[in-house]
Chains A and B, each alone.
Chain A
Amino acid sequence: MKNFRYLLKEGVRNIWSNRTMSLASVGVLVSCLLLTGAAVLFSMNINAAMKTIEGTNSVRVYMKEGLPVLSAVKTGAEIKKLDNIASCRFIPKDDAMERMMDMLGEKDATLLNGMTGKDNPLPDAYQISFRDLSKYKTTVARIQKISGVGSINDYSDIAAKLTKLDRIVTTGGFWIILLLSLVSLFIISNTIRVTMFSRRLEINIMKSVGATDWFVRVPFIVEGMIIGLISGAVSSGILHLLYGSLTRTITSIVHFSPIAMSALSGRLTAAFLLAGCLFGALGGIISIGRYLKKEGGEIVDW
């Protein structure tokens, strides 16, 4: 189109002359995008946690309390004989205690000073990884039957719980996002409709001098897209700040490393801008389309 620049300028002018409604649209769209983003980030973190569990692909098998080292080695040899075992590494109880003291830090580790050597309450253990995760449960059951085995640190329960949580978040998030999307579309198309009614005279004049439907449409679509882009940028900024402070708080409480924002930043911002832009454009197309079809089609208003 020859005068695309002119139409672009018109779109920007629309936003300014209708700034209160534009601001309302930005607010609603920001809330929608923020909730969407939060749900996506939550889901991504759960997936990452599950992958970590799956990635370690292992269980820790603790020997019975007071089991001599020699018997523990024998038990280890029997575990290794099972067909689904990829690796089987012995972790002596002294090593386990040392690692625990490292985790507690220099100051708190002094509490465990008297629990070394013979007084070490921790059992010997094996770190075992599997070849095939689908045989996870049967292999764990077979290990359980081997003599000398005390308990098994089984992650399958956590994985199941995380899967369930992820499903709830995904399903709930989907409906919330769908609802908010519809609300956002409604608000944006209404904002644009208000602009359109205030510019009825201009549209009539445009139509009387031979403007095509697209000439009338473009400024409104541009308006919607700019509202969407602003909302995308604002919500992306807010989510960056919130996620940053939330992950700092979580990592100080729980031993969990969430996905770093730096790894998501580019994709997240691009997705937000794109989503905002699409929503805005769609809002514009819907409202002006309906107007041109029903009321302003070929109206000159003689």
Chain B
Amino acid sequence: MDACRWAFLRFGLLWEKRDRTGYGSGLQVIVFQNVSKVYPNGTQALNHINLRVEDGEFVFIVGASGAGKSTFLKLITCEERPTEGEILVGEQKLSNLRRGDVPYLRRMMGMVFQDFRLISKMTVYENVAFAMHVVGATSREIRRRVPYILGLVNLQDKARCHPRELSGGEQQRVGLARALVNNPKLLIADEPTGNVDPALSFEIVDLLNEINKRGTTVLMVTHEHSLVKRFQRRVVEINRGSVVADSCNWGVARA
């Protein structure tokens, strides 16, 4: 990746932080206190999880399929409620959160999906703008912000393209732009490199890394050990609903 682009990206993120500091300011610590989740069919998805993610951290969540990673994300985004225990996002206890307040909690979060989840009939620009429409941004704000965010993910030239005209890596960058456009304090990425070429995986995580450097907390679920090894960030391993390893560097500390 050329130096010019990184300079632009860094400058952009700094400017970004100055620009909208009021939004979602304050500590966004995520705390799981003895959290368990049992689904109505009896499946125990999470079993007495205790975990603390500090504001501004970058955490890889790893684990085999069915280990409970998705349930972990569902609980943070309030798609599911815990059967037992308490979850805190910032100072907000999620058990006290009314259903009507869930959208406002989610506005502090950006979500990136493995399957990109782009709307095929919309252009790249419209896909990103769509997220701003949802939170009630004005047309002027959208016109100002979307090109800027597309610039950050180096897609300014593809604004008028439809998702089918883009490569997997480019589509994921659109997904990332959409997640970032509302300036979230927490970014949740569910296997964002799962559907892109291995060579492009590093580029995506590089981008997440840069976003994390401006203070955005990043939670990234992944299966790719090569990424985990390369980026040397905190790793939380979930297995059969329990946290079996939690370390700052892969392999250093195992529970």
Contacts and interface: CB of A to CB of B under 8 A. Distances in A.
Interface of A: 1-3, 6, 201-202, 204-213, 215, 297-302
A298 B79 contact: yes
Given A212-B100, A300-B74, A2 B131 contact: no
Contact of B130 (A2, A204, A205): A205
Contact of B119 (A2, A202, A215, A300): A202
Given A211-B134, A298-B78, 14 more contacts: A2-B138, A3-B138, A202-B119, A205-B178, A209-B111, A210-B105, A210-B135, A210-B182, A212-B103, A298-B77, A299-B79, A300-B74, A300-B111, A302-B79
B117 A209 contact: no
Given A3-B133, A205-B117, A206-B134, A302 B99 contact: no
A201 B138 CA distance: 23
A209 B119 contact: no
Nearest to A211: B134
A210 B117 contact: no
Contacts of B135: 209-211
B136 A300 contact: no
B15 interface: no
A interface majority secondary structure: loop
Nearest to B179: A209
Contacts of B79: 298-302
Interface residues on B, range: 20 to 34
Contacts of A215: 134
A206 B113 CA distance: 14
Contacts of A209: 106-107, 110-111, 131, 134-135, 178, 182
A209 B175 CA distance: 12
Given A3-B133, A215-B134, A297-B99, A210 B119 contact: no
Contact of A210 (B74, B134, B178, B190): B134
Interface in B96-142: 99-100, 102-107, 109-111, 113, 117, 119, 130-131, 133-138
Contacts of A297: 99
B249 interface: no
Given A300-B111, A302-B70, A302-B74, A205 B131 contact: yes
